[in-house]
Amino acid sequence: MVPVLFFIVDNPKIRLQKYLSETGVCSRRASEQLILEGKVFVNGTRVTELGTKVTPDVDRVLVEGHVVKARRKIYLALYKPRNVVCTRSDPQGRPTVMDFIPPEMSHVYPVGRLDYDSEGLILLTSDGEFCNRITHPSKGIDKIYYVEVKGAISRETISQMLNGVHHQGDFLKASAVDVLKTNNTRTCMAITLREGKNREIRRILDCLQLIVLVLRREQVGPVKLDKMTLGKWRLLTKTEIQLLLGI
């Protein structure tokens, strides 16, 4: 007689914040904040401990009264206009990137940030793990900006941008600087950042007493602004997603 083998397949438990990010609620960091604020319930019980684990498709999870369900993962590129905030909402009532996204994709959130007074490429996704990988400093994804400053700049100034400056406790530096055009009235450059600290380019240029006229993010990793128009969005290609994830 051939023995009959029975296999029990476990549905492994995962951390609650990871589950929330994987189901597209928000990023893992934002999920942790929701948990700490007591806005997440598991099987009817309020959870405030970050070490809590859940079993997907078994435990019932609610966030602010809404049942968490897995949704199709979405990856977008948006040409953000100036004077728009890179958050899902703004307490001051300013326009946000979500104002440019269709309602059926309203569960996406920004990957990283782009200054309020800058324009250019911003990625949005409903995939929390994708967001974590792209924004982690160790990933080292290049971000390229088109920048115009007032007047001509010297080689010494470019060297300072590449060697780095200290500002408010941060060490800031450009990975590459390519001068596209220069004269006595303005200089046009392509500046590459690898880390992307808050307002990094503006802070570097401010330290060097340069006045910014135009600042536009043109590229994030393999994703380019290209022919996108202001305020418009598009889906990332499969190749772009794979390249960003290093697959």
Q: Which residues form the catalytic set?
A: 115
Alpha carbon separation from 99 to 55, 80, 122, 152, 156 (Å, rounded) = 34, 10, 14, 38, 42
How deeply is 224 buried, as exposed, middle or buried, from its count of CB atoms within 10 A (0-12, 13-18, 19+)?
middle
Amino acid code (one letter) for 118: S
| Alpha carbon distance 197, 174 (integer Å) | 11
Question: Residue 80: CA atoms inside 13 Å, Cβ hemisphere, count?
Answer: 32
* Strands of the 66-67 sheet, one edge to the other: 45-47, 40-42, 61-63, 66-67
